[in-house]
Amino acid sequence: MGTKSYFFKSFAIVALALVAFIGFKQILPDKIFSESKLDSKNVLIDSLLLESVAEDSLALDSDSISKEDRKLNRQKIVFDEAGGIEFPSETFENYKGYQYLIHFYEKLYQLEKNPQAKVRIAYYGDSMTDGDLIVQDVRMNYQERFGGTGVGFVSITSESAASRGSIKGQYSKNWKTQSYLNVKKPISPFGVNGHVFFANNGTNTTWIQFEAGLNKFATTLDNPTLFYGRSSRTGKVNFIIGKDTLKKTLSPNSLVNTLKVSSGSLKAFKANFIQADSIPIFGFNFDNGIGVHVDNFSQRGNSGLPISIFDANVMQAFNTNLKYDLVVLHYGTNVLNYGTKNYSWYEKGMTKVVNKIKESFPGVSILIVSTADKSTKYNLEMKTDSAVVPLMKAQKKYALETESGFVNLYTLMGGDGSMVKWVGETPAKANKDYTHFNQRGAKAIGKLLYDQLNEGYEEYKILREKRDSGSNKRTVRKSRPDSVSVKSDSL
């Protein structure tokens, strides 16, 4: 009797669990359970993204969104001239916003006239640009044409240090790291890379070692310079270059301080930090001082939203040293998987991010790069994820609203179903997760990005020459109900 009772109790528990699972499954997002196995190691999701999703309604009013999309697609975007230059009007569907890259294009123009000038790009991204993928190819394309050597700013530590080919970095395990991905109030303000590091000396030396990579235009470490923050106490750092040791003092008096390791170019060096545990360390910069330089500020699991907590004063101090002309925001991979196609919350959050960038780097041009295509299994077939297009449109909206340039990476790589094609090609250009590009694909994406930016630059040169020749007279336009005039700052 006892055995039979135990059997029925066990059966009842299993039955209740099954009913509960079926019930919960009806209200949970369709894709909360992944179709493929994922390695959770080092996967990070920023806290601001989770908060934004939790606070926002996930309800989708498909009728209102469809009406808004139709209205947007009818809009004709007419730009107000800046410095006597006015790019042709665009539709929302094909929006690129070259008009808002005029500052960047003018700096390229000046560099082309004077090879001793300098242009700098900050490229913020997520796992798509991890290990310098995509960014290193954008960098090489620009340096091929305009000159410049060096990989730019490099963090002290990163998840991708071992796999990055453009520079080889090793570091001791006793660094204390704080990231804007999961810390809102750091011990000391974050650096331009969204991180701050502290040397935990203790009994073991805290060190970092760099060696030049094999990438074109990055075979040396040019003018290696340490960036560090403010502290009430000084510290010391010993730079070991070959058989020589240079002993230097860290004087952390300003919000952002610099210390040059050596003038000229090195192949490798090691830095030992001594009695420097109270000094915030940001990273090293490597560039030869002329041409184009591109800094890769990638962070796995990032939605882009954490940039909004940057300290604008610290960023301005970085900008005094580095002088940025273009800031690229390349996000989307970590925003797709939340059971919603209503991304108004993300538009609002990223609008704040762009405004913080404008405050931090006055006058800089801003470029938004949309999500790439991503495939998910529907009825045993891999297809474009249903959230990709809604997210891409949301990214385009805040690009337009914030007067930023825009690259539609989804359509640039082929649009609907393109990720399946990139994975299936021989040789493949994307990984089997149907989300990330491999090195071959990243190189292709880097070239596509460069080509679109260069298309705008070549058009800018034509418009500039017309202006200078006096033939670019502005015509008086009557406002139309189906158009929107967008103002931009004068040069």
In terms of pLDDT, which residue wins out, 470 or 427? 427
Please check whether residue 318 is in contact with residue 193, taking contact to mean a CB–CB distance below 8 angstroms.
Answer: no
How does pLDDT run across 81-131, given as a tens digit for each residue? 999 999 999 999 999 999 999 999 999 999 999 999 999 999 999 999 999
Question: Alpha-carbon torsion 174, 175, 180, 184, what sign?
Answer: positive
Please check whether residue 305 is in contact with residue 46, taking contact to mean a CB–CB distance below 8 angstroms.
Answer: yes
Give how far Cα 250 sits from Cα of 118, 192, 247, 263, Å.
28, 19, 10, 18
- Is it true that the peptide bond before 427 is cis, omega within 30 degrees of 0? yes
Q: Helices 439-469 and 135-146 sit at what angle, rounded to 10 degrees? A: 40
Q: Which of 54-58, 222-226, 399-403 has the lowest mean pLDDT?
A: 54-58
Q: Which domains does the chain have, with CATH numbers?
A: 46-148+290-491 (3.40.50.1110), 153-288 (2.60.120.260)
How does pLDDT run across 175-192, given as a tens digit for each residue? 999 999 989 999 999 999
Tokens encoding 198: 């502290």
Mean pLDDT of the chain: 87
Q: Which of 410-424, 438-452, 457-471 has the lowest mean pLDDT?
A: 457-471
Distance CA 464, CA 458 (A): 10
First vs last C-alpha separation in the chain = 90
Give how far Cα 142 sits from Cα of 97, 138, 293, 321, 330, Å.
20, 6, 8, 21, 18
pLDDT value of position 163? 84
Distance CA 362, CA 354 (A): 12
How does pLDDT run across 353-392, given as a tens digit for each residue? 999 999 999 999 999 999 999 999 999 899 999 999 999 9
The model's pTM is 0.86
Burial of 385 from C-beta contacts in 10 A (0-12 / 13-18 / 19+): buried
- C-alpha neighbours within 13 Å on the C-beta side of residue 249: 4
